[in-house]
Amino acid sequence: MFKLQENKTNVKTELIAGITTFFTMVYIVVVNPIILADAGVPFEQVFTATIIATVIGTLWMGLFANYPIAIAPGMGLNAYFAYSVVGNHQDITYQTAFAAVFVAGIIFVILSLTPFREKLIEAIPENLKHGITAGIGLFIAFIGLRLTKIIIAHPTNLVGLGDLKSPSAALALIGLAVTLVLMMLRVNGALFFGMIITGLIAFFTGQLSFDKGFISLPTLPEGLLVANPIAAFSDVIQHGLYAVVFSFILVTIFDTTGTMIGVANQAGLMKGDKFPRARQALLSDSIATAIGAMFGTSPTTAYIESSSGVAAGGRTGLTSLTVAVLFILSAFFGPLVSAVSGLSAITAPALIIVGSLMMGSISKIRWDELDEAFPAFLVILSMPLTSSISTGIALGFITYPLLKIVKGKWREVHPLLYLFAVLFFYQLAFLAH
């Protein structure tokens, strides 16, 4: 079913890859409820909804697309939901905002059933694809450094070196050293075993504790938040949430598309410009977005942390299936998951190393051609600096056709790129992002 031999992998490697991906992204089941709580959504509701959406999207990705890519509610999209959609509009409740997410999800499903999203992947120039992969790598490495306070905010230069003697930074650096040694020794599952060793060090040094126990039953205190599709569309029309729906769709399309291209490139799964089984893969996040909204979570996207599982050897949907099963189990181990994912130093080394591996794509960019190189450079630079994959892609999409026009090569640009250059310019200039 998963074509393990064809993809030059085995069950053990896929399971370890799935476990690695799970531990690098499981923080979302804690962070997402905390952010959406600022919009008034009960923590328990979002915790369970986050797991439901993640399991549905990731299972679809694994079983129907056979890719080692996990789906979960997106960071950034949840903040936009809580602070821009609900926080800035007194007349919009979180129930109404979830209606907008649901409508966006339904439109998203329709788009995914058409050739549109597949054509979009094929339309993205090779140099931009390599730039997206490298930009995501730099972004997730930056996340690992920032979460562990190795890099901190600086009043003058925006970022600076943190206190390397602090418990979090020191533990992350030890974990990084251990994981690098394991990788140099070519130990299978080095990223995963690095996290295990780092976790043990954290436990014995008192940084990791399990004060709230290990097990609790998941609950949905408010039941279904979007039970009537017709009422959801009515809410969007009544409150004029067209710009909100458009923003959700645009950001999610490119967050997911960019991440899938980056991870697939890293895993060697792209066939030239083609993304095999693209429609099945692209349906995963759209279906998960619609169903997740019904239970109470913001839009889903492909997770950049999937690249850690690919780095651990994951090549098929068995990796995704493993991630989905672990998320199902995590629903009953809320306190345990909260404790482990709450200590970023355990997972940060994997993010930093994977970031370095993904940066390898930078060598494939045609740096001697400015009209090809500069848009890719802008993508790479802006992803970590804006903390947004879609913003990086937007800037690349805007500058690429402009430079081609100036150079007289406008015919080389796919018509879809012109369309999205205009849409992205409109979004960056006039909509919240």
Helix, strand, coil percent content, the chain, rounded in steps of 5: 70, 5, 25
d(CA 100, CA 248): 9
pTM above 0.85, yes or no: no
Say what the pLDDT of residue 226 is. 92
Say what the pLDDT of residue 187 is. 77
Say if residues 389 and 139 touch (Cβ distance below 8 Å). Answer: yes
What one-letter code names the amino acid at 234?
Answer: S
d(CA 32, CA 34): 5
What one-letter code names the amino acid at 290?
Answer: A
Residue pLDDT tens, the chain, 433 long: 888 888 888 999 999 999 989 988 887 887 788 788 888 898 889 999 999 999 999 999 999 999 999 999 987 678 778 877 887 667 789 999 999 999 999 998 998 888 877 777 778 888 888 888 788 788 878 888 988 999 998 888 888 999 999 999 999 999 999 989 998 997 766 777 888 899 899 999 988 888 777 788 888 889 899 999 999 999 988 888 887 787 788 777 777 777 888 888 888 887 766 778 878 888 998 999 999 999 999 999 898 788 888 988 899 999 999 999 999 998 998 777 767 767 888 878 888 887 888 788 888 899 999 999 999 999 999 988 887 777 888 899 899 999 999 998 988 888 888 988 888 888 788 765 5
Is 92 strand, coil or helix?
coil
Give the DSSP letter string of 23-60: HHHTTHHHHHHHHHHTTT--HHHHHHHHHHHHHHHHHH
d(CA 121, CA 130): 13
Domain ranges (residues) in the chain: 11-216+242-430
d(CA 140, CA 387): 9
d(CA 362, CA 130): 6
Give the residue among 261, 287, 279 at the shortest CA–CA distance from 393.
261
